[in-house]
Amino acid sequence: MMQRQFCAPLTAVDSVNTESESEVSASKVIKADDPYLSGHYPHFTIYPGIFIIESVGQAVRAHVTAHRGATYGADLVEVSRVRFTAPLLPGNTLELDARITPGEQDPDLLSVKAEARREDGARCAAMTLTFRLEDRNA
């Protein structure tokens, strides 16, 4: 089985909860020495918005693996909506909650509505994404 590599080395989630069939949650501690923070605004270092999207992607892929098996993957195919509302700074914890529903027209598509918050409850981002399921052994 060929594993697709999305970002290396990027761990965009520290922990993932995949217990629910239709929801996934995850968290990530933003550390000042994370290599991707260097230079992402030199005098106001923030966790890049694209990495919040990648955090959701890694959580969704973990959910798919947990509920469909290790041969399944999920590829991001569409960002329908995204809004960034507050920065994530070194020392913050990103907390994600995402609702996953099968596509209405295509059962191989997953619609994901996700919200990212800091540990203080401030909403950092809200987004609607679409992923395509793929059996990597098929």
CB 136 within 8 A of CB 71: yes
Instruction: Please provide residue 60's backbone torsions phi and psi, each rounded to the nearest 5 degrees.
Output: -65, -45
Closest-CA residue to 127 (of 114, 116, 136, 118) = 114
- Residue 67 is a catalytic residue: no
State the Cα–Cα distance between residues 134 and 109, nearest whole angstrom.
9
CA distance 127 to 4: 24
How many CA atoms lie within 13 Å of 126's alpha carbon, on the beta-carbon side? Answer: 3
Closest by CA to 55, choosing from 2, 102, 3, 92, is 92
State the catalytic residues.
Answer: 40
